[in-house]
Every structure is written in structure tokens, then in C-alpha cells.
Structure 1
């Protein structure tokens, strides 16, 4: 778990993280998002909206951590959804989840 949060921090410092529901949906639609991370304590309607977009545009999505943990990992306040826009970081995150 710590490795995944550290990887998110590295990706943020590299400028490869987009956070916030509207911005993430835009990245999914433009096919720039390589993986989407959704907090486990997300509201049902937000979860459905993000999940449906990810399925339609074939973007992998994982549920991980609380909104507080995700926010802390990228040096911001609470974040419900994060998109990683770099293939290398996305691949690293998928390997850590498995």
C-alpha cells in the first residue's frame, strides 16, 4: 500500500496526475488517462459515473485507499478520483495492485 501511495507521489511530482471528477472525466474522454484510481469511500453516484466512463473508453480503474490517503499521497486535500496520464506510472501501479 505504501509503495502505491509513494508511486502516486512520484507521478504527481512528474506532472502525470490529474485529480478532481470533472478533470478526470475529461482525461478519460480524450483517452489521455492510462489508469484511474477511485477512493473506496466514494459516493455511489460518483462511483457509477467514473466506472461507466472507464468501461466505455476502456480505461483501467482500481479502487484504492480513502479520499484522505489519496489526497495526502499527491500533496493535496482529500481527493476522490485520480487519473494517471503516463503509461509507465500506470503500469507500475497495476503491478503493485496485483
Structure 2
């Protein structure tokens, strides 16, 4: 662990528009590659507690497949209705050939 960061994937493991379910510090998260940049967010949609893993990544947003809400991967903010509460986003860094997430 480096300064609270935990290694969760190898660089190159996820291609653009792919995501991976991870569990870090007891939290169910999604590691996402959006346009070549890694992001980490809560797995569950804030609107209906439905897994965002079943959605898709478009640009720098993730879509919930249940009701169609999009969330900004960098900020977690909802971009359209019906979701009106953000999901949490977590710091990510790429170092030493690995992708690291800070779950705090």
C-alpha cells in the first residue's frame, strides 16, 4: 500500500470502455477505463441501488442500464434524470505498471 492506495489491476488490463468489479476496504467498486484514463466509482447506482456494471461507458460517463441515468466518472455527479444524487468517485493513480485506488 502506498499512501493509502491499493493496487487493483495491471496497466493494460482494461481496454477503453471496459470496467472491472473490485472490492477494496469492504467497498464494492468499479474500476473503469474511459478514453484511456482510469476512474474508480461506487458499483451501485444512487437512484435504484442497481449495479452500474450492467451499464456501459460512453466518453467519460457511465450509464445505468436500469433507468438510463449517466454519471460523470471523474466527479460521480449525475448527468441526467432520473438520478439526482451522485455516486462516489475515488482517487486513482497509475504507477509501477499497476493501477492504484485510494478507498478513503
TM range (shorter): under 0.3
TM-score by length of 1: 0.27
**Bigger proportion of residues as strand:** 2
TM-score by length of 2: 0.26
**Bigger proportion of residues as helix:** 1
